[in-house]
Amino acid sequence: MDKDHLVQLISNSLIHDSDNSESRRYHIEFTNYLKQLNLDQLRTMSKEFIL
């Protein structure tokens, strides 16, 4: 998996979309945080939280 796909997978798995603006803001912030991680960190995170 490439980095963008892992970021999307993790953020969508951990944060449920909601109609309120606070949830959307949190989702954007979390996605930005994930984009700062390297590929190995994202792989580790996906194994810990998704499986």
The pLDDT of residue 50 is above 80: no
Residue 16 in this model has a pLDDT that exceeds 70: no
Other Cβ atoms within 10 Å of 24 Cβ, number? 13
pLDDT in tens, 20-38: 777 788 888 999 999 999 9
Domain boundaries, the chain: 3-50
- The DSSP string of 1-51 is --HHHHHHHHHHHHS---SSHHHHHHHHHHHHHHHHS-HHHHHHHHHHHH-
Q: What are phi and psi of 18, to 5 degrees?
A: -140, 165
pLDDT at 35: 95
Does the pTM surpass 0.95? The reply is no
